[in-house]
Amino acid sequence: MGTIIFFMQCGFAFLEAGAVRSKNTTNILIKNILDVFIAGIAYWLVGYALAFGEGNSFCGENMWATVGLSEDKLAFWFFQFVFAATAATIVSGSMAERCNFHAYLIYSVILTAIVYPIVSHWAWSGDGWLASEGSAYQDFAGSGVVHLTGGIAALVGAVILGPRHGRFDSDSPDIRGHSVPLAALGGFILLFGFLAFNGGSQASISQPGDAGAVARAIVNTVISGSFGGITSLIIYRTGVCGVSNTWSFLMALNGALAGMVAICAGCNVMPIWGSCVTGIVAGMLFITIHTLLDKLKVDDPLDAVAVHMGGGLWGLVAVALFQDGGIVFGGSGKVLAWNIAGALAIMAWAGGLCIIMFGTLRLVGWLRVPIEMEIQGMDILKHGEPAYPAGSWEEKQYYNKLAANYQQQHNDNDTNSSDRNN
């Protein structure tokens, strides 16, 4: 299962690669692949110790560099490492196309070594204050721990970094991703990976009831994602948000992802109609936040904030409402209270640290690339590897075609101008 979740890195990479312009494609790809390597190293050296070492209710304190980790726990290490890499990857999306490479290196080390591990210690380690006996915090597959943490970091990053050049100029056209198929590929892989993400969070399969819980988690993920996708597609189509009213592929995809994020927290304990409602609300919430950020001139090329922060927050509420014995069944509000407390703590911790980190980077001028580099693209200037080198596309078929078409275009223009002259 960890192996399949690992594949989600590929999904994020292509979702992001498709959503940037061709001149920054290599840049976003290298960020995503380094997320894996950096997480591998940082989580090995520091992160796992902070997360699952023995310690106090705030953080763990031993097993640095997995020294002293028993062999049985290696599979668990791998599973948790993949989660850490996922949390870090979310951020690179909202900061795409304008973030400096050095700043990227710094923030991804800090996120995977410190920010995320401590959150996961709170909720998933035996010692953590959200996992202790008195607590009723419920977050099965990380709506809060993974997605809210990543989403809030993405929001802070996007705000401090500022929008891309020309993004909110009234006279320039929308900035679009350069390739819908690449984004779609990423989306499909993420849908596939989410099934493993939510199913695998049971983390065991040999106990009585495990198989049922895993199956329930997967079915709920499918249903919530389906309703999320259809909901946001239809809302976008009606145009109530003041935006265009087309059948948008990216809205359907992101709505589905938001639905899947929202069901993370409770996918093992919800009845199926509950995940249906969760998905619908997640789809609506996604499109609301998407529109809102646009209004506030926060530039998030990937909608990472709307998907992960929106979905994550709602997920923590939804589990308290719809789980068997939850509030809509007349249960107590204890889970809801604890989940809200947990969400606030996560937002304060991750948000606070990110404000300090990104703020410092901005003050010393490392956060953002110079405006010339932003216009020319980072692939050639920074990485020396244009994503689609013009020299490797030199084929007769294109030039013949182009020459012919240019000729025709030319003629058309002539006709047009003569029309105008008349």
**DSSP 3-state assignment of 55?**
strand
In the numeric block, the tokens 């002539």 are attached to: 414
8 A C-beta contact, residue 379 and residue 387: yes
- For the stretch 373-376, contacts whose Cβ atoms lie closer than 8 Å and that sit 24 or more positions apart, written own/partner, are 374/97, 374/98, 374/164, 374/165, 375/165, 376/23
Q: Under the criterion CB under 8 A, does residue 52 sit at the interface with its own copies?
A: no
Of 327-386, which residues contact its own copies (CB under 8 A)? 376-377, 379-380, 382-386
State in angstroms the smallest separation of the CB of 227 from its own copies. Answer: 7
State in angstroms the smallest separation of the CB of 203 from its own copies. Answer: 13
Kindly tell me which residue out of 49, 145, 195, 347 binds its own copies, with binding defined by CB under 8 A: 195
Of 70-89, which residues contact its own copies (CB under 8 A)? 71-72, 74-75, 77-78, 81
C-alpha torsion sign, points 214, 216, 219, 222? negative
State in angstroms the smallest separation of the CB of 398 from its own copies. Answer: 5
Total residues contacting its own copies by CB under 8 A comes to: 119
Q: Under the criterion CB under 8 A, does residue 9 sit at the interface with its own copies?
A: yes
State in angstroms the smallest separation of the CB of 345 from its own copies. Answer: 30
Query: Which positions ≥6 away from 75 have C-beta within 8 Å?
Result: 2
- 408, with CB counted inside 10 A (0-12, 13-18, 19+), is exposed
State in angstroms the smallest separation of the CB of 18 from its own copies. Answer: 8
Q: Could you give the string, one character per residue 225-264, with x where binding to its own copies holds by CB under 8 A and - elsewhere?
A: xxx-xx--x----------x-xxxxx-xx--x--------
Give Cα separations from 273 to 90, 105, 270 (angstroms).
29, 43, 8
**DSSP 3-state assignment of 152?**
helix
Stretch that binds its own copies, among 17-25, 155-163, 351-359, 364-372 (CB under 8 A): 17-25
Residue with Cβ nearer its own copies (26 or 120): 26
Residue with Cβ nearer its own copies (181 or 330): 181
Residue with Cβ nearer its own copies (134 or 391): 391
**DSSP 3-state assignment of 60?**
strand
State in angstroms the smallest separation of the CB of 145 from its own copies. Answer: 21
Q: Under the criterion CB under 8 A, does residue 199 sit at the interface with its own copies?
A: yes
Angle ∠(203,206,212) on CA atoms, nearest 5: 75
Residue with Cβ nearer its own copies (295 or 399): 399
Q: Could you give the string, one character per residue 260-299, with x where binding to its own copies holds by CB under 8 A and - elsewhere?
A: ------------xx--------------------------
Stretch that binds its own copies, among 148-156, 210-218, 290-298, 334-342 (CB under 8 A): 210-218
CA 189/CA 182 separation, integer angstroms: 11
Of 378-407, which residues contact its own copies (CB under 8 A)? 379-380, 382-403, 405-406
Residue with Cβ nearer its own copies (204 or 363): 204
Q: Burial code of 118-153, b = ≥16 C-beta within 10 A, e = fewer?
A: bbbbbbbbebbbbbeeebbbbbbbbbbbbbbbbbbb
State in angstroms the smallest separation of the CB of 17 from its own copies. Answer: 5
8 A C-beta contact, residue 44 and residue 53: no
CA 229/CA 251 separation, integer angstroms: 7
Residue with Cβ nearer its own copies (144 or 200): 200
State in angstroms the smallest separation of the CB of 340 from its own copies. Answer: 29
Query: Which positions ≥6 away from 351 have C-beta within 8 Å?
Result: 152, 153, 155, 156
Of 90-129, which residues contact its own copies (CB under 8 A)? 101
8 A C-beta contact, residue 259 and residue 284: no
State in angstroms the smallest separation of the CB of 325 from its own copies. Answer: 16
Supply the DSSP string of 98-131, one letter for each residue: TB-HHHHHHHHHHIIIIIHHHHHHHHHSTTSTTT
State in angstroms the smallest separation of the CB of 65 from its own copies. Answer: 7
Of 54-73, which residues contact its own copies (CB under 8 A)? 65-66, 71-72
Supply the DSSP string of 385-397, one letter for each residue: --SS-GGGG--HH
Residue with Cβ nearer its own copies (211 or 240): 211
Residue with Cβ nearer its own copies (62 or 246): 246
**DSSP 3-state assignment of 53?**
coil
Residue with Cβ nearer its own copies (175 or 327): 175
The tokens of 349 are what?
A: 């911790």
DSSP state of 147: I
Of 131-190, which residues contact its own copies (CB under 8 A)? 173-182, 184-185, 187-189
